[in-house]
Amino acid sequence: MADFLSKEHITANANFNRWLVPPAALTVHLSIGMAYGFSVFWKPLGNALMGEDGKPLATCAAGAANFSEKLAGTAKALFAIDCNWTQFDLGWMYTLFFVLLGCSAALWGGWLERAGPRKAGLVSTLCWCGGLLISAYGVYAHQLWLMWLGSGVIGGIGLGLGYISPVSTLIKWFPDRRGMATGMAIMGFGGGAMIGSPLATKLMAYFAEDGSVGVWQTFVVLAMIYSVFMLCGSLGYRVPPTGWKPANWTPPATQNNTMIATRHVHLNKAHKTPQFWLLWIVLCMNVSAGIGIIGAAAPMLQETFGGALINQAGIGFADIKKDEAMTAAAAAVGAGFVGLISLFNIFGRIGWASSSDKLGRKRTYFIFFTLGAILYCSATYLAGLKSLALFVASFCVIASMYGGGFATIPAYLADMFGTQFVGAIHGRLLTAWSTAGILGPVVVNYMHDTRLEAGVAFDQIYAPIFMVLACMLVIGFIANLLVRPVADHYFMTDLELETERQVAHEKSMQNGALKSTNGNNQQQHPLLVKLAWAAVLIPISYGVWSTVQKAWALFS
C-alpha cells in the first residue's frame, strides 16, 4: 500500500496524457466545494426539533438580546438536546471550514510536496467524507459539537489538503499554461456548491418525513457520492518526471520576462521574502473586497432596489417587508442574483486565470484592482440612479475577478518562487484567505447593521460600504505594484535542489527515455480522456442549468 501511494509509483510514463490530470483535480475540488453550499442546511436544521403541537421548539438562544447572550446560547446549543439551533450557531461551522482550510494547507503543505498528490488526496477524502458522516451522527443525535468537529474541524482539514493537492502537479504538467491549469481545478471548488446545493435540496425533500428534516440521511448519501468521486480523482493523479516539458515548447527567455523565475525558492525561505507578504496582501485584499459583499448579495439587491425588482417602482424595501407575497417575490429575484454572480465567480476562475498566461499575473491583478475599485465607486451612483441592469452587471464582473484572483495566485507564486514548493507556498499563502474570510464579512455586516440602527434608509445603506471595499482594492493595487523579482540569494543552489528532489522521491528523465508529450496525440488514452472529462462536465452542466433557472427570476 505504501508503494502504491508513493510519489515514485505515480510518476507518469511516456504514454501518459497530461489532459487526464485536470479532470482528476476537478473531481476533488467539485466535491469539497460543497462547503460553499452548506447554507442550504441551516433552515432545516433550525427546525429539526418539533414540539407536540407540531411547531419547532424554541432555539437555545431564545430571548438573546446582545452578542454575549448569543454566544451563551451557542455554548448551550453545543450539547443541548431540547432546543433548536440558530443560524448563528450553525454559521460557526462555515467559519471553521475556511479557517481550518488555510491553517491545514499552511501546516501540511510541505508534507504534501514530498508525499505527492495521491496520498494527500486520499487523506483529504477521509477527512471530508468522514467529517460528513460524523456530522450526520451529530444531526441524528442532535449534538452540535459533533457537527463542528466533523465537518468544521476534520472536514476543514480535508478542505485544505484537497484544495492544494493538485496545484503543484498541474503547474508542473502545464508549464506553458500555468494559469489555465490552476484555473480549471480551482473553478471546481467554486462550482462545488452549484452542483451540491440543488442535489442536497432534492435529497432532503426525498428523505423528509414525520419527525425528520432529512439532513442526516443527506449527509450520508453525499459522503458516499463524494467518496467515489474523490477516490477516483486522487487515484487519477500523476506527476511528471523531473525535466519533463511539453513537446515543441521552449521555456520563456528570462531576459525578456524577469517576473518568471527559472530557479526555485525553498519553502522555509519563501515567507522571508517581501514578495510573499506582498502577495499575501494582494490575495487578502482581493478576497476581502469580494467575499463580504458576495455573502450579502441577496439582501443588498433587495434593500437597494426595493419594489423596482418586482415592477413596483416607488416602493421601498421597508414597505415590501410588510407584504408576504412581495417579500417572497423579491427574495426570488435576490436568489437569482446570487445564482448569477455564482456563475461569474466560477467561470471567472478559468477565464481570468487563462488570460493571465498572455497578460501576465501582475498585469492581471492590476486589472482586478483598478476595474474593481472603479466598479465599486460606480455602484454607489448606479444604486442612486436605480439602474438595475448596470448595477447587476457591475457585480457580475466583480464576482468574476474575485474568483479569478483565487485561480491566478498559484501561477503568480510559481512565477515568483519556482515550482518545486509552489503547492506548499500556496498553502501558507491561503492564510490570507482565512483572514479575508473574517475581515470582509465583518466590515460589511458591521457597517450595514450600524447604519440600519442609525435609521439610514435601506437604499442608502451600502454607498459607504462600497467605498471602503474600493479602498481595500487600492491597498491591493499598491502591494501588487511593489512586487519585484525575488532576489538571487533566496533561490536554492543546484545541489540543494537535487537534495530536495531526492527527499521528495522524484524521478528524473534518463537519457531522454521518457518522451515529451503535449497531450494532443489522439493515440494516448483517447477514450479514457473523454470519459474522465465527461465525468466532471456532466455534473457541472447540471449545476449550471440549475443555477441559470434560479437566475432567470432576475429577468422574468
Q: Give a yes or no: residue 233 inside a domain.
A: yes
Whether residue 290 sits in one domain with residue 227: no
Helix (H) or strand (E) holding 390: helix 388-417
Whether residue 322 sits in one domain with residue 219: no
Whether residue 348 sits in one domain with residue 221: no
The string of pLDDT tens digits covering residues 212-226 is: 789 999 999 999 999
Least confident of 33-47, 110-124, 247-261: 247-261
Task: Choose one of 448, 478, 494: the last residue of a domain.
Answer: 494
CB atoms near residue 188 (< 10 Å): 29
Helix (H) or strand (E) holding 93: helix 87-115
State yes or no: pLDDT of 511 exceeds 50: no
Closest CA to 276 of 267, 263, 286, 285: 267
Side chain identity at 49, as an amino acid letter? L
Q: Give a yes or no: residue 239 inside a domain.
A: yes
Side chain identity at 286, as an amino acid letter? N
Instruction: Report the alpha-carbon distance of residue 382 to residue 40 in Å, rounded.
Output: 31
Whether residue 96 sits in one domain with residue 5: yes
Q: How many domains in the chain? A: 2
State yes or no: pLDDT of 54 exceeds 80: no
Averaged pLDDT, 484-507 = 88
Bridge partner list, 209: 212
Task: Choose one of 494, 518, 535: the last residue of a domain.
Answer: 494
State yes or no: pLDDT of 400 exceeds 60: yes
Q: Give a yes or no: residue 405 inside a domain.
A: yes
Whether residue 307 sits in one domain with residue 357: yes
CATH number for 459: 1.20.1250.20
State yes or no: pLDDT of 507 exceeds 60: yes
Instruction: Report the alpha-carbon distance of residue 356 to residue 344 in Å, rounded.
Output: 17
Give the dihedral of Cα atoms 160, 166, 167, 169; nearest 10 deg.
150
Q: Give a yes or no: residue 211 inside a domain.
A: yes
Whether residue 176 sits in one domain with residue 42: yes
* Contacts for 52 with CB less than 8 Å, ≥ 6 apart: none
Q: Give a yes or no: residue 281 inside a domain.
A: no
Averaged pLDDT, 70-81 = 86
State yes or no: pLDDT of 178 exceeds 70: yes
Whether residue 216 sits in one domain with residue 82: yes
Q: Give a yes or no: residue 547 inside a domain.
A: no
Q: Give a yes or no: residue 522 inside a domain.
A: no
Whether residue 312 sits in one domain with residue 177: no
Task: Choose one of 250, 272, 295: the last residue of a domain.
Answer: 250
Whether residue 327 sits in one domain with residue 245: no
Contact indicator for 106, 431 with CB cutoff of 8 Å: yes
Confidence band for 556, pLDDT divided at 50, 70 and 90: low
Expressed as residue numbers, the domain containing 7 is 1-52+73-250
Whether residue 392 sits in one domain with residue 307: yes
Helix, strand, coil abundance in the chain, percent, nearest 5 = 75, 0, 25
Q: Per the structure block, which three cell numbers stand in for 120?
A: 494527500
3-state secondary structure of 11: strand
Q: Give a yes or no: residue 258 inside a domain.
A: no
Whether residue 352 sits in one domain with residue 234: no
Side chain identity at 237, as an amino acid letter? Y
Whether residue 169 sits in one domain with residue 108: yes
* Burial group, residue 413, by CB count within 10 angstroms (0-12, 13-18, 19+): buried
